[in-house]
Every structure is written in structure tokens, then in C-alpha cells.
A and B are shown apart, each in its own frame.
Chain A
Amino acid sequence: MDELRKSFHHDIEDVRTELVHMAAFVTEAIPRATAVLLNGDLEGADQIINGDDEIDARALELEDQCIQILALQAPVAGDLRQIVAALKMVAEVERSADLVCNICKAARRIYGHSLDPTLRGIITRMGEQAQQLYIAAIESFVENDAAKAAAIDDMDNYLDALQKQFVQAIFESHAAGRIDLQVAVQLAVVARFYERIGDHAVNIGERVRFVVTGWLPEHRGAARFRSRADDSTEMTRPPSLGSSD
């Protein structure tokens, strides 16, 4: 029994290590994509886009590994949370890698257009902040640090603010005739990509908190929903269903 558990914990450790590797890969890709975008580096864009296949393959493999552990070892309590959280987190990381690719694809579409220093400056900051979020997510995961994981949410507020500021700067640049509509739309989408990468980092942080404490922020909303449902038990039908009269 002892021997079995040892190899089981070894398996969980493997899952964690691989997850950290993949997340580090994404963390590294964020500044690369920013450089691709700002320098119009088409070759670099191809490299990152091709590199995504590796992340997809590794994500699938890791998922299989997790499912196998669930099926064969039937983990409980903390171990179960680890594996279930890993299953969720691998999807977050994989999606983030896709978003990094999307930034590179946008870089291809705006190739040859020059951008205002203000726009370039905010892009640089968004890239840096998105990377900071990811670094914090990895560190909180490696250290099982729920407090650090909780801080990621606050860091994300700054990234959201940058996105709003960026959209404003796009309007100004377009109004002054320095970028055309096509580029403006592409840039707005790019800002969204960075913002989404940040959100995925926040989700990873939430999963880390779940592993450590068993609590998720969604529990708050779920509790509200339940209390509303309890209040309305006298109602004859659920309010969300459409009525015919």
C-alpha cells in the first residue's frame, strides 16, 4: 500500500511539474508576441504560431494523465482537488497560448502600419502586466500560496484599466487620422487578447486557492443564487422560463 501511494504522489508531482513547464512556456511567449507586434516581425510570428502545436499536444497528454490518475487511483480530498484543479488549469494555459498566437496573427494583419508612440507604450505595458500576472500565477501554484494567488485579481485590475486606456488612445489616434479603421479594430482586439490572458492567469490563481482552501469565488454567486431560490419557493414556476401569455 505504502509503495502504491508513493508512486501515486509521484504521478501528481509529475502533473504539477508539467503544468508549470507549460505555464512557463506561455509566460515566455507573452513578451515575444509583444515584440512581434511592435517590430512587425513576421518570422517571429510564424515561430510562435507553430510552437502552439506543441502546447496543444502537451495539454492533451496532460489531460489524459489526469484522467488516468482519477480512474486508476480514485484520489480523495486534497489529492482529488489537485487533479481536478490541474484539469481545469491545463485548459486555461492552453487557451492562453492560443491568445498569444492570436496576438501574432493580428501582428500579421497590421504589418507595415506604423503606430503612435502612445499606442506602442500601452501595448508594452499591457504585455508586461499580462506576463507579471502569469509569473504570479506560476509562483502561487508552485508555492501553494493562496495569498499570492488572491493578489493576482488585484493585479488584473491594472491590466483592465490599461485596456480601457488603450481603447481610448485608439479612438484618438484614429480621429487624428494616424491609423485607419482596419488597424484600429485589430488593435482593439489585441487589447482584448492581453486582457483575456490576464483573466486566465486570474483563473489559475483561483484554482490554486481552491487546491489550498477548497474555496472558489464562484461560491459567493452560487450562495446568492441558492438564497434567491429559497425565497421564491412559493412561485409556481421558475422565473427564467419564457411565458406564453
Chain B
Amino acid sequence: MDVFVLLAGCAVGVIATLVAVKVLESRRASPTLGGEHASDVSSEQSLAASQARAHRLQGALDAMPYGVMVADQNGQVLLRNKAADTAGSDAHNEVLVQAAVQYNLRSALRGEARTQTVELYGPPKRVVVVEAHPLDPDGAMVTVEDVTERFRLDAVRTDFVANISHELKTPIGALAVLAETLIDETDPAVVRRLADRTVNEAHRVAKMIDDLLELSRIELSGDLIVSSCDVGLLVVEAASRNSLLARQNKVAVDAGDIDVGLSINADHAQITSALGNLVDNAVKYSDANGVVKVTAHLDQQGVTFVVSDNGIGIPSHDLDRIFERFYRVDRARSRGTGGTGLGLSIVRHVANNHGGSITVESHEGEGSTFRLYIPERLVPQT
């Protein structure tokens, strides 16, 4: 609220100054109104001062991160800052934002402050808050603030708590139920089946704890254990970690197309873990007889590992969230695939630790391609 009082103050100041400048200019233009010569000099000075003041205030408004517009009592916009001009990037989004601005402005001109949250589906998705305040004695001001990032972070926070409790509670709940059933069960065949499932659930919890520990290790350890790693070996190691799963799912992992002798300065354990997770995902979300391709190529800044599959793909509205801890595209399905929801989060941290990046491109039904980029001075071996 303080900000708005300040803004309103600023805006009123600017208007007052701009009006003063206009009046002085008109006086200068018509000397008959200006009076004697001495007053002309002083008005000359105060004109310059006013202009400087107006410039400073306009500069201050322009430096603000969100759009500010001030209108007179007829709704005519008197001034707008730079951010107000770029509030909507696309033509049709801009039109919708401007419609909201006009709507709220009319309400403020009737003396009623109003706030509206406009959600735009985009793409890209954007959330804009439009606030309108009446000004004294008349006119109104409207601010336009892009709160997309804040909305996203809120969603991440609330979903995280919901997801972690879901992921931890489900296997533990299952263990409790299975154990209770075992107590009264006498049929050896049923006991055997229940015991098997108990072991599976226990393994799931163990895997989850392993992943959590690995994630916290990668998150916390500032220092990388950097050594020169052979890129081909890294990929082979990551692929072989998943060879059993790949055989079970009848998915072929093709890691043949990698330049021999490429090496990179990086943390061996972290990169293998990241690549292992990417290949693991690619195998899990491929259909039977699918092919997972792993390649690595070198450019001037570093090495990009590319893991691509022709599996089920990722819905577009989930794409920017899959690197969050415990985020699941489809909970029902991922229970079946046995992941912990931490794999891609680990990959993202590994990329960050190395100053690199992870990007994804995916279409549902066509497959996904992950690109892990590790910047490094490369030492080509001879």
C-alpha cells in the first residue's frame, strides 16, 4: 500500500509539474501575458527548474518495474511510464490487458478503487494484476503488475508440501496394511504374496530415501570433485545402470554415436547420476520396442548430452514444472513406474552445480528430448 501512496504522490507531482511547465510555456509564447522583462527572467528559471523536475519524476516512473498510467476525469490518459507500454508483449494479450485496464479505470473514475487479477493462457502463461485508484481531486491511476513468477512460486510451494506427504505416506501406509493382513493370514500362498509385496514397498521407501539423500548431497555440496572424465564412459555407465530395466521394458538404449576420446572436466559421480536419471526416465516412459538415444556433442563452450526417446511425451503445461522436487505429471501412472519424483530435480541440481543447464522439448505421443549442457574447457585426448 505504501508503494501506491508513493506512486500516487509521484504521479500527482508529475502532473502538477507538467501543467506548470505548460502554463509557463504558454506565457512565454505570448509576451503580452508575460508582464515585464524581470518577471520573464525568473519565470525562465522556474521553467527550467520545473522541466528538470518533470524529467526526474518521469525518469523515476520509467524506472519502476510495473506499468503506471494516470488519467484525467474523462479517462484520457495523461501519462504512462515505459513499463505500461510493454505490459503485454503479444498483440492479443496486450488487447486483453488493456481491456482490463479500461474496465478498472472506469470504476476508479467513479471513485471506487478496484483490483483485478487477469490470467492469460498465452502461451506463455501470464498473470497480471491490474489495480486502479481514484486520485484527489479527480482522475485516476492504474498500475499493471506482472505476477507470473510469484504465482508460479506459490504453486511450487503448495504442491511441494502436498506431493512430499503423498510420496512418503503412500508406501508407508501400504507397509502398515500389508503387515496387518499378514498377522492373521494362515494360507502360505497368500502369506508369500503379501510378503513379496511388503518387500517391494520397503524397497520403494529405501529408494526414496536414497534419492533424497543423493539430492541433499548434490544440493548441499558446494565443492565438486572435478576430474577429467571420458564422455563415452560416462554415457556407457549411465546406460548400463539401466540395462536391466531396459531389457524388462523391451526398450533399446542406443549410445553408440559418441566421439571417441572426448573428455570433460566435471564431477564424475554427479554427471553419471544425472545421465542415469535421464536414461531411467526415458526407458520408463517409452513403449515396448521403443528406442532411447543418448548422444553427446561438443561445441565451443562445452558438452551437451542429449537423451531422447519416442515414448509418451510430456503435456505442454507440465513442461516447466517437471524439474521440481516430487512433481508428478500423472500420479496414477508414476506409481506403476516406481520412480520417486526426484530424478529430474537431481539432474537440475547437477546442471546448476556445474554452471550448466538442462532443457527439455516434448510432445505428447511423440517423445521427449532432454539436453544436459555442461560448460567446460575440454581437453581433447590424442
Contact = CB atoms under 8 A, between A and B. Distances in A.
Interface in B249-269: none
A124 B366 CA distance: 12
A144 to B, nearest CB: 14
A203 interface: no
Contacts of A117: 311-313, 364-365
Given A117-B364, A122-B365, A125-B363, A31 B121 contact: yes
A139 interface: yes
Interface stretch (A19-27, A86-94, A178-186, A192-200): A19-27
Contact of A124 (B91, B122, B311, B363): B363
Interface in A104-120: 116-120
A24 B365 contact: no
A116 B91 CA distance: 34
Given A28-B96, A31-B122, A116-B365, A121 B313 contact: yes
Interface residues of A, number: 27
B312 A31 contact: no
Contacts of A95: none
Nearest to B99: A21
A23 B90 CA distance: 14
B44 to A, nearest CB: 38
Interface string A9-20: 000000000001
B121 A21 contact: no
Contacts of B316: 124
Contacts of A119: 365
Interface string B91-118: 1110110010000000000000000000
A166 B120 CA distance: 27
A35 B365 contact: no
A24 B91 CA distance: 8
A122 B311 CA distance: 14
B121 A32 contact: yes
A28 B99 CA distance: 13
Contacts of B99: 21, 24
Contacts of A24: 91-93, 95-96, 99
A139 B311 CA distance: 37
A111 to B, nearest CB: 16
Interface residues of B, number: 21
B11 to A, nearest CB: 26
B363 A20 contact: no
A31 B365 contact: no
Contacts of A142: 91
B364 to A, nearest CB: 4
Given A20-B95, A25-B96, A118-B364, A35 B317 contact: yes
A138 interface: yes
A116 B364 CA distance: 9
Contacts of A125: 363
A124 B364 contact: yes
B123 A31 contact: yes
A122 B366 CA distance: 9
B315 interface: yes
Contacts of A124: 315-316, 363-364
Nearest to B120: A28
B91 A139 contact: yes
A95 to B, nearest CB: 18
A165 B120 CA distance: 29
Contacts of A21: 95-96, 99
Interface of B: 90-93, 95-96, 99, 120-123, 311-313, 315-317, 363-366
7 contacts: A28-B93, A32-B121, A120-B315, A121-B313, A121-B366, A124-B364, A135-B90
Given A21-B96, A24-B95, A117-B312, 16 more contacts: A24-B92, A24-B93, A24-B96, A28-B96, A32-B121, A35-B121, A35-B317, A117-B364, A117-B365, A118-B364, A118-B365, A122-B365, A124-B364, A138-B91, A139-B91, A169-B365
Interface of A: 20-21, 23-25, 27-28, 31-32, 35, 38, 116-122, 124-125, 128, 134-135, 138-139, 142, 169
The 5 closest A-B pairs by CB, nearest first: A118-B365, A121-B365, A121-B364, A117-B312, A117-B365
